[in-house]
C-alpha cells in the first residue's frame, strides 16, 4: 500500500507539473459502445458492473455526467492496471483526469465481484477497439 501511495503522489506531481493533460478537454463520454460477446462469467461481471458502477460510469462503460467512460486510452490496461479498479472501488479516487469530481469508495462490493467487473470492463474496452 505504501508503495502505491508513493506512486500516486509521484503521478499527481507529474500531472500538475505538466499542466493540463491532453485529454482534459474531452467530454469523457463514448457514444454507442458495443457490448462484448457475452459469456456466463462476463454476464456476472456485467450485472455487478450495472449494480455498482454504471450509475456514474454509464451503460456499457460509456460514461455519464457523474463519471468518465472506461473506453478511453486513460483506462487502457497499460495505464490503469486491474489493481487500480480495486483501489478505486475500495478507497475512492480524487478527480485528476477529468472534471466529474471525486469518486467515493463504493460500499458493499466484494473482491470477487470486482474481479468479475474488471473482466467485463476489459471485454468492453476490447470490443470497442481500445486494445
Q: Which residues sit at the interface with ligand HEC, rule CB under 6 A?
A: 52-53, 55-57, 66-68, 80, 84-85, 88-89, 93, 95-98, 100-101, 103, 106, 109, 117
Cell readout for 2 is 505504501
Give the separation between CA 80 and CA 72, rounded to whole angstroms: 11
Nearer to ligand HEC, 39 or 94 (CB): 94
Nearer to ligand HEC, 109 or 130 (CB): 109
Min separation Cβ 65 and ligand HEC, Å: 10
Min separation Cβ 68 and ligand HEC, Å: 5
Residue 102 burial class via C-beta count within 10 angstroms: exposed 0-12, middle 13-18, buried 19 and up: exposed
Min separation Cβ 104 and ligand HEC, Å: 6
Give the separation between CA 63 and CA 55, rounded to whole angstroms: 9
Cell readout for 129 is 477497439
Amino acid at each position: 500500500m505504501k508503495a502505491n501511495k508513493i506512486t500516486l503522489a509521484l503521478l499527481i506531481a507529474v500531472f500538475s507539473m505538466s499542466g493540463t493533460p491532453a485529454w482534459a478537454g474531452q467530454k469523457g463520454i463514448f457514444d454507442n459502445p458495443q457490448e462484448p460477446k457475452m459469456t456466463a462469467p462476463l454476464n456476472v461481471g456485467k450485472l455487478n458492473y450495472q449494480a455498482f458502477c454504471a450509475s456514474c460510469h454509464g451503460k456499457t462503460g460509456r460514461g455519464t455526467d457523474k463519471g468518465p467512460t472506461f473506453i478511453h486510452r486513460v483506462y487502457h490496461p497499460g495505464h490503469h492496471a486491474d489493481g487500480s479498479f480495486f483501489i478505486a472501488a475500495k478507497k475512492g479516487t480524487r478527480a485528476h483526469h477529468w472534471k466529474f469530481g471525486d469518486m467515493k469508495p463504493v460500499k458493499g462490493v466484494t473482491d470477487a465481484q470486482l474481479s468479475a467487473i474488471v473482466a467485463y470492463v476489459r471485454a468492453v474496452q476490447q470490443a470497442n477497439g481500445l486494445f
